[in-house]
Amino acid sequence: MAIESMELKEIQTLEGHTDRVWSLDWNPATGHSGIPLLFASCSGDKTVRVWEQNTLSSNLFTCKAVLDETHTRTVRSCAWSPSGKLLATASFDATTAIWENVGGDFECVSTLEGHENEVKSVSWNASGNLLATCSRDKSVWIWEVEEGNEVECVSVLQGHTQDVKMVKWHPTMDVLFSCSYDNTVKVWADEGESDDWQCVQTLGGPNNGHTSTVWAISFNASGDKMVTCSDDLTLKVWETENLELQSGGGFAPWRHLCTLTGYHDRTIFSVHWSREGILASGAADDAIRLFVDNNESEVGGPLFKLLSKKEKAHGMDINCVQWSPGVRFSGTTLMDYFNGITSIGSNGVTANNRLAYCVVA
């Protein structure tokens, strides 16, 4: 069923953080099989908050836990492991913490040190045994997480020439992507059995890449397309044609598919691709945009079209948009599918149930 239009509707405002909220992550093990939706948010107030949906009454979210007294500076990024049992948090104090839910209480079970200064992003691979971090020190670190929550650094990747903004694992393969203030996206792969991680491709200006800072990366459900967003006010979609080659240890290069431009007039900080194929973007113009495949496009026409826009979604910059896990679109009505959005702001979190976005205020 083609989705032609929709409207974003705010459902709830959650308050708790006392400084700007930088990022959030939905727990992938929630939102299905009767398990309430759960997400974490992180802030300049040095804390992480865990929010849970009350499915027995209102379906609204409440704060389940506050993780504090571990990081000493801004917590910039948070990411749940694929099992949903561990939460990694990256901080401007140059450390990454790993938390475990033990009987309903979150305990810091490991603190990773090594970066010279602010850690900007953290990401788990699909199997949950590898963790990647990146920093203002221009490096990307890969950590192996073993039984008993023992963590060891297995590789330090030097390739970017400026601050690295985000790291993101491919959704099905152990291929790592990083984006940077140096205007590039780098693709990293292990080319041997001895953790010999190498940069196998750089996506930059010469191959239709971004011309300013690249802030975020997201993949479609099948993993054969990727979208990036930038300070150059564009979204760029990339594709690879042979995932089987990559899963077999080879490498199939990524190529530029199209550029979405003219939809935001300030820096695009975040982009996220839903499992149903809808792109969400959030920017410093305080706006959210949603895009879908343009199936009616003529040859040579635009490959994506604007589905919806929300002006002044918050009073200031939107730092992060993220679709939630949960029940897939059933094809009944658009409102059944898009009946909620969760937004996190520096002085609160606004929530419905499908998309999350956070802001600086």
- CATH code for the domain in which residue 119 is found: 2.130.10.10
Which pLDDT does position 332 carry in this prediction? Answer: 26
Integer CA distances (angstroms), 245 to 68, 168, 239, 251, in order: 44, 20, 14, 6
Handedness of CA 172, 174, 175, 181 (dihedral sign): positive
- Compute CA distances 341 → 71, 163, 299, whole Å: 29, 31, 34
Does residue 281 have a pLDDT over 50?
yes
Torsion on CA atoms 52, 55, 58, 61, rounded to nearest 10:
10
Number of structural domains (the chain) is 1
Residues 6+ positions from 271 with CB-CB distance below 8 Å: 216, 217, 218, 227, 228, 229, 235, 279, 280, 281, 282, 321
Which token pair is 74?
């801004």
- What is the pLDDT, as a whole number, of residue 352? 40
Average pLDDT (329-354) is 37
pLDDT exceeds 80 at position 46: yes
Beta carbons within 8 Å of 335's beta carbon, 6+ residues apart: none
Average pLDDT, the chain: 87
Q: Tell whether 321 is covered by a domain.
A: no
Residue 78: inside a domain: yes
Range of the domain at 223: 22-290
Task: Tell whether 351 is covered by a domain.
Answer: no
Average pLDDT, integer, range 351-360: 46
Within-domain flag for 323: no
Give the contacts of 294 (CB within 8 A, at least 6 positions apart).
301, 302, 303, 304, 305
**How much is the pLDDT for 298?**
62
pLDDT band for position 349 (cuts 50, 70, 90): low
Residue 208, CB-side half-sphere exposure with 13 Å CA sphere = 13
Q: CA-CA distance, 223 to 48, in Å (whole number)? A: 29
How many CB atoms lie under 10 A from the CB of residue 237? 20
CB neighbours of residue 333 within 10 Å: 9
Question: In this predicted structure, what is the pLDDT of residue 354?
Answer: 43
Q: First-to-last CA distance in the chain? A: 38
Place of tokens 């040190």: 113
Which pLDDT does position 297 carry in this prediction? Answer: 61
- Specify the pLDDT at position 12: 80
Does pLDDT of 111 surpass 70?
yes
For residues 242 and 244, the model is more confident at 242
- The answer to the question of residue 304 being in a domain is no
Would you say residue 144 lies in a domain? yes
Asked if residue 11 is part of any domain, the answer here is: no
Three-state DSSP at 250 gives coil
Tell me whether residue 360 is in a domain.
no
How many Å apart are CA 74 and CA 68, to the nearest integer? 11
